[in-house]
Structure 1
């Protein structure tokens, strides 16, 4: 089922809640500039295995409201905390991809991991996001030819071959975001760092990273593994930035083994 949760006056986040009666809950936080729909190939499988899967569209993206402000790690983490409180979630797994992984890290540090039993970081854009050069390039393109920027993101995202229909689907997912929110998160990824957040994470953490990732270097996953105390790094040998699709069977199996049922 899909519904909206109010996180501040005039700002409602879209939540996709699949199998609410599941015995284990996984909260998925998507990457930039996508939406909860990127996890389609988890939502196809995991609920049927007994998991409750919750996908949250951040403000400015997917089906959520698109305000002009609020695009900082603190505010985005606050939004997640409001959803967690509204849905009365506890003992859940928090899984974040790319920038969603960075938001998950800030949530863990800012709220002492409130309600989270386990953390999954998928090609996380942390502890740093974009280089200044990359960010400025994306920013210029976003403000002048956003479809061209999104096509470049799509073309560099996957290591494995993707069909034209799949590329079109992925491309349109990114364009569902507002231009201003897309640009604001590029600035966020350029300017905000998460080094001080990492030692504050105490929940068991699974780090997944494609070794062919052209968006976030796999060296950053190694740094996360070193700085997060109770963490395990699993490199995905045949993935770029999207192991949740490129090696989806392995990804789903690893996720369920880590969480249990």
Structure 2
């Protein structure tokens, strides 16, 4: 574990576990969480002989709580700073939700030279918000409401999200895990309110269409068809079509937070993709 300082003076926290000469898997977390959200994956892949790296996005977790730079260009450049600092080559980059957008933008912006494969899980690309050219997107008012709830009472908002739609705990017959809910809340409250507020714009209004089209390496697209946060039809399905070399895996009934609630399945499928 350590920190790297970016060109604009932000300290990015990262975890780096495993043999130095092992295949690297670099994990990118979702909004408004931290590298801790990958616990189930880090331990699994470490046990399977991989070197695992995960960072806290600027303004999230243990990274600097700066007030600016909360956009995909800065997110991608921060990843590049960690990659350069650690001398990582041939990595597999895995991103969940906003982290999936970060993976796509990082590869498109910084090139494929140091990346062998990628996987995006319940990810925000190609574009979440509704526009004249993206009529099936979610209305901007949905994201405005998220910002309003964050500003009004962030602590309660960060309890309501994991208790309800994020993990599908609002579905009939669901069995909520108090530990998972509290861990989501803990990670969220560690971060910077300004970063999270601006991050809603970053994940909802960034158009990744051209980024997706430009990528030639193999990309695994994993998405649950009961995702209540990032709707499947306008995200995973479209991303797989736009990518040049994609594999789409659709998970029946799985929620947005499936890397946590369905870790055994997700981990096994990621391992098979990486080994292939």
- Give the TM-score normalised by the residue count of structure 1: 0.95
Ranges in structure 1 where 5+ consecutive residues have no aligned partner: none
Give the equivalent residue in structure 2 for 1:119: 118
- Give the TM-score normalised by the residue count of structure 2: 0.90
Shift, 1:187, TM fit? 1.9
Q: Are the equivalent residues in 2 in contact too, given 1:22–1:51 (CA < 8 A)?
A: no
Give the equivalent residue in structure 1 for 2:157: 149
Runs of 4+ in 1 over 4 A off after TM superposition: none
Shift, 1:102, TM fit? 0.5
- For residues 61-88 of structure 1, what are the alpha-carbon distances to aligned partners after superposition, in whole Å with 9 as ceiling and x for unaligned? 0111111111111111011111111111
Give the equivalent residue in structure 1 for 2:203: 189
Task: State the alpha-carbon separation in 1 of the partners of residues 39 and 121 from structure 2.
Answer: 15
Say which SS state the counterpart of residue 70 (structure 1) adopts. coil
2:177 is aligned with 1:163? yes
Give the equivalent residue in structure 2 for 1:174: 188
Ranges in structure 2 where 5+ consecutive residues have no aligned partner: 130-137, 169-173
Q: Are the equivalent residues in 1 in contact too, given 2:70–2:202 (CA < 8 A)?
A: yes
- For residues 72-129 of structure 1, what are the alpha-carbon distances to aligned partners after superposition, in whole Å with 9 as ceiling and x for unaligned? 1111101111111111110110001100100111111111224110010001111113
Say which SS state the counterpart of residue 209 (structure 1) adopts. strand
Q: Are the equivalent residues in 2 in contact too, given 1:26–1:53 (CA < 8 A)?
A: yes
Bigger shift: 47-56 or 238-247? Answer: 238-247
Distance 1:114 1:151, change over 3 A: farther
Shift, 1:136, TM fit? 0.3
Q: Are the equivalent residues in 2 in contact too, given 1:34–1:173 (CA < 8 A)?
A: yes
After superposition, the CA RMSD in angstroms is: 1.5
Q: Are the equivalent residues in 2 in contact too, given 1:108–1:200 (CA < 8 A)?
A: no
Bigger shift: 154-163 or 214-223? Answer: 154-163
Bigger shift: 111-120 or 25-34? Answer: 111-120
Give the equivalent residue in structure 2 for 1:109: 108
Give the equivalent residue in structure 2 for 1:95: 94
Shift, 1:192, TM fit? 2.0
Shift, 1:9, TM fit? 4.3
